[in-house]
Chains A and B, each alone.
Chain A
Amino acid sequence: MDRNGDIALRMVGITKRFPGVLANDNVTFELKAGEVHGLLGENGAGKTTLVNILFGIHQPDSGEIFINDKKVEVTSPRAANDLGIGMVHQHFMLVENLTALENIVLGLPLERPPLLDLNPARARFRELTKEYDLDLDPSTPVWQLPVGDQQWLEFLKLLFRDARILILDEPTAVLAPSQVERLFKTIRYLADEGCSIVFISHKLREMKEVADRVTVLRDGHVVGTVDPRGTTPSQLAQMMVGRDVFLDRRSRPLSESKQAVLAINGLSCQDDRGTLALRDLSLNAYAGEIVGVAGVDGNGQRELAECIAGLRQPTRGTVQINGKPVSGVVRDTSLLGFIPEDRRKTGLVLGFGVAENLILKTFAEPRFTRHRVMQWGAIQQEANTLIQEYDIRTPHSMMPVRFLSGGNQQRVVVARELSGDPALVVASQATRGLDVSAIESAHKMLLRERNRGAAVLFISTELPEVLALSDRIIIMFEGQIMGELDAESADVGLIGELMLGHREVAEMAAGETV
């Protein structure tokens, strides 16, 4: 029996290397019984890798795990379950067509093999829902349940399995504010019952509210473990984003232009789940500047890019490019070059050849089509020019892009989107998943566009590259612009706070520094 305050879990010297990146570097992490322990860090800081190792999804390259001072091997999620470790994933692991109760018993040993007798489980289900004051019918199919109840179901799954160590991976990301409050009450209740909870979040406010201790990760290693109540938000933010090395920032002449290429006015829209993703957002981008959009993933950046490209219908507000209102997908590559977030899913047709992908948007233009018949000669010629100009490494222009490397795939997208000399370039996570040299060449490309006189909107969750590349930085949080800073003199700590939604503190700090 674990008593509150005892060490329930120790992870010592955990190192996990994925080829090309050190995801966890000698991480040591301690969890007390009955404690809510926050894990804070930027995208890619190694939080999820760490909990995935704890849950048996990944195996560490080195390091040891102790539960109640006993060394254990977590070889699989099943082994983790047996050790009393449970995880609520950010994206629920539920079978939508099964009922709430069926989802809970899924994977549990049968009570009366070979028959599936749900009655004991149903009784326990009722008990638990009573204990937690839940209004949850065990026979409702999961797809009919609201998100909040689905999350409860994930909790019930863990309670059924007698989990003592609970991992919650950004549990508030899918919830409305009122549900968040309820969730926190539950977390506190479970902790008082003796459960130990690892709580992952991007939001400082939540850390202060629910966590007993917070461990901050950065670039795969532990920066420190602190008491959130005894730490100011700016200290936490500094721990999270403060860096030893910055990418080189190239000095450049500032643009004098006052011509708004991109004009966004009072824009609101919904995300795919139908919740508000952008709230009354206004933004201008001028010719010859790079506007960096910083922010933690999932704060409306994707929806912003899609609204500009006409892929998403705003609920309110307008988007104008060079004075022309956007309505419907913008295909004119002299107006907009859009490098989408997911090149493999959105930006490319993997089964198509390089040439076909290069004309994905422009195939109907007269230079490629005559009387609705495609002029493959002209298309090939154009493709070969672009392949040379953008240094796309491919044996021939009809090679399916599926067989190209990630960097070369990105070059195909970039070549298609930039070859029309667009007035506005929107690059959404353009360097994600690329190696160092490919990132370098993408940055160069965007600088070249800027110097040509294009307005560039550079959306990235990697703060260093936003700092290195932008003339002006805006920070997004929950669909709003939290602040706008001159990139030349931007204070990283301040950006970190704004990214975490801490406007008041940021304003105070700004007042002090100015």
Chain B
Amino acid sequence: MKKRTATVLPGLGGFVLPYARPFLAIALALLVSAGLILARGANPIAAYTAMLQGAFGSVAALANTGVRATPLLLGGLGVALGFKAGLLNVGAEGQIYAGGIAATAVGISPLPVPPWLHLLLTVVAGFVGGALWGLIPAYLRAYRGVSEIVVTLMLNYVGIQLASFLVQEYAPLGEQGVFYPQSPLILPSAHLPILIKGTSLHGGIVLGLVLGVFLHFVLRYTNFGFRTRMVGENPEAARYAGVDVRRQIFTALSVACGLGGLAGTSEVIGLKLRLFDRFSQGLGYDAIAVALMANGNPLGVILTAIFFGALRAGAGKMQVVVGIETPIASVIQALAVLFVIAIGFTERARVTRREREQEPEQERAVHGDQ
């Protein structure tokens, strides 16, 4: 019995460690970046203190962090849902534009409905826009076996260009007589409410937090979530257990893309208040980093998105106080993601090694003899 516990405990370590992994990665990233800051002739402690103040030091700072975290959070949830279904949805950028376009179309239309309903319809439109956009990769992946990575990635360019086209003066969503291609303003009834007066913190963050908790609940506590995780972990076993694997992949990827659409929606109707050409500027790619860092865990996505948001919000203050340029925030972010992946690799190597040790030798011998 004693021996058994000994073999099992490292397993327990492997069970607990995934939650510690991102924190370790962040610590390492901050450590390495401190070296860079030192090399630039600044005091890393002073720099990080300034960054902390810029991100959390005042109401305005907090609001700034929240605003920057919002699209990463919503987009990150979309990527994370894909992860859980075993799919690499790298199309958040395109979905942001698709959702933004759909939300804009509804948001600039004066509908004969009460303001709350107009807002609701706009948000739903954004989700549906992203989900419809996602039907393309979802169908191709589920029923035609085409890699969702390629399709979602390529659709990013389509989404960006489609939005560019639609906001031209001559196009359906373009505003007339202006210098810069943009849509008309979103009607006030379709605006996400501002949460703190005098800041730009809008309701998108609430939407993100609620959906993050909701998605966690769905994955953990519903049949849909159970099937999705089963398909993601082992599609062959899922098929054997009677799950319609294709349909599950189809649904999960569409919904994931819908969440990406919400990221674009909240940017348009919460922050920018109109559709601009190239308004996202790569938020969708950062969303992938967020989901990676959180290992697809929705609650982890919430924390990671806030961390990334804080990095961006704090970087400005840091530049003012110690003179380190803002791109250091991107450096820290990239390093954190890389360290998470690196730690994951060593982890996996450890697990595989143990599995190989545990695998009874007969099996190998017999299998070898076929």
Residue in contact with B362 in the complex, picked from A48, A400, A433, CB distance below 8 Å: A433
Stretch at the interface among A110-118, A368-376, A506-514: A368-376
A57 to B361, CA, bound (A): 16
* Interface pair A433/B233, CB less than 8 Å apart: no
* Interface pair A331/B242, CB less than 8 Å apart: yes
* Interface pair B369/A43, CB less than 8 Å apart: yes
B window 198-240: CB within 8 A of A:
221-224, 226, 229-230, 233-234, 236-240
A433 to B363, CA, bound (A): 4
Residues of B contacting A19 with CB < 8 Å?
361
The closest CB in chain A to the CB of B226 belongs to: A363
Q: A399 within 8 Å of B by Cβ? A: yes
Stretch at the interface among A70-78, A175-183, A343-351, A442-450: A343-351
B window 33-66: CB within 8 A of A:
none
Residues of B contacting A47 with CB < 8 Å?
369
How far is the CB of A480 from the nearest CB of chain B, in Å? 21
* Interface pair A433/B360, CB less than 8 Å apart: yes
A46-B369 contact, Cβ under 8 Å, with A311-B239, A352-B233 = yes
A44-B223 contact, Cβ under 8 Å, with A351-B233, A399-B15, A406-B359 = no
A20-B369 contact, Cβ under 8 Å, with A346-B237, A348-B237, A352-B230 = no
Residues of A contacting B360 with CB < 8 Å?
20, 405-407, 433-435
Residue in contact with B361 in the complex, picked from A18, A311, A328, A400, CB distance below 8 Å: A18
Q: B241 within 8 Å of A by Cβ? A: yes
Q: B20 within 8 Å of A by Cβ? A: no
Q: B12 within 8 Å of A by Cβ? A: yes
Q: B110 within 8 Å of A by Cβ? A: no
Q: A136 within 8 Å of B by Cβ? A: no
* Interface pair A433/B230, CB less than 8 Å apart: no
Residues of A contacting B240 with CB < 8 Å?
309, 311, 329, 338, 340, 346-347
* Interface pair A18/B365, CB less than 8 Å apart: yes
Q: B197 within 8 Å of A by Cβ? A: no
How far is the CB of B7 from the nearest CB of chain A, in Å? 8
Residues of A contacting B224 with CB < 8 Å?
372
How far is the CB of B250 from the nearest CB of chain A, in Å? 18
Residues of A contacting B363 with CB < 8 Å?
406, 432-434
* Interface pair B355/A402, CB less than 8 Å apart: yes
Q: B11 within 8 Å of A by Cβ? A: yes
Residues of B contacting A43 with CB < 8 Å?
366, 369-370
Q: B8 within 8 Å of A by Cβ? A: yes
Q: B281 within 8 Å of A by Cβ? A: no
A window 317-362: CB within 8 A of B:
328-331, 338, 340, 345-352, 356, 360-361
* Interface pair A403/B11, CB less than 8 Å apart: yes
A405 to B236, CA, bound (A): 21
A336 to B221, CA, bound (A): 27
Q: A487 within 8 Å of B by Cβ? A: no
* Interface pair A433/B237, CB less than 8 Å apart: no
A433-B366 contact, Cβ under 8 Å, with A329-B239, A402-B351 = yes
Residues of A contacting B234 with CB < 8 Å?
345, 348-351
Residue in contact with A48 in the complex, picked from B4, B8, B239, B369, CB distance below 8 Å: B369
Q: A415 within 8 Å of B by Cβ? A: no
A348 to B223, CA, bound (A): 18
Q: A201 within 8 Å of B by Cβ? A: no
How far is the CB of A215 from the nearest CB of chain B, in Å? 15
A window 285-343: CB within 8 A of B:
297-298, 309, 311, 328-331, 338, 340
The closest CB in chain B to the CB of A311 belongs to: B240
How far is the CB of B247 from the nearest CB of chain A, in Å? 13
Q: A234 within 8 Å of B by Cβ? A: no
Q: A126 within 8 Å of B by Cβ? A: no
* Interface pair A433/B359, CB less than 8 Å apart: yes
A45 to B358, CA, bound (A): 23
The closest CB in chain B to the CB of A431 belongs to: B362
A373-B366 contact, Cβ under 8 Å, with A347-B240, A406-B359 = no
Residues of A contacting B365 with CB < 8 Å?
18, 20-21, 23, 44, 49
Q: Which residue, of B236, B238, B239, B240, has the highest number of chain A Cβ atoms within 10 A?
A: B240
* Interface pair B241/A331, CB less than 8 Å apart: yes
* Interface pair B223/A345, CB less than 8 Å apart: no
How far is the CB of B221 from the nearest CB of chain A, in Å? 5
Residues of B contacting A372 with CB < 8 Å?
222-224
Residues of A contacting B369 with CB < 8 Å?
23, 43-49
Q: B172 within 8 Å of A by Cβ? A: no
A400 to B358, CA, bound (A): 14
The closest CB in chain B to the CB of A434 belongs to: B360
Q: Which residue, of B11, B238, B365, has the highest number of chain A Cβ atoms within 10 A?
A: B365
Residues of B contacting A282 with CB < 8 Å?
none
A376-B230 contact, Cβ under 8 Å, with A21-B365, A23-B365, A432-B363 = no
How far is the CB of A99 from the nearest CB of chain B, in Å? 24
In addition to A90-B370, A350-B233, A434-B362, 17 A-B residue pairs with Cβ atoms within 8 Å of each other are A19-B361, A20-B362, A46-B369, A47-B369, A298-B370, A329-B240, A331-B242, A347-B237, A356-B226, A374-B221, A399-B8, A402-B351, A432-B363, A432-B366, A433-B359, A433-B360, A433-B364
Q: Return the 6 tightest CB-CB contacts between A and B, nearest first.
A: A433-B363, A403-B11, A331-B242, A19-B361, A329-B242, A48-B369
B binding-site residues for A, Cβ under 8 Å: 4-5, 8, 11-12, 14-15, 221-224, 226, 229-230, 233-234, 236-242, 351, 354-355, 358-370
**Can you list 11 pairs linking A and B with CB atoms under 8 Å apart?**
A21-B362, A23-B369, A49-B369, A330-B242, A345-B236, A345-B237, A351-B234, A399-B11, A403-B14, A403-B354, A433-B360
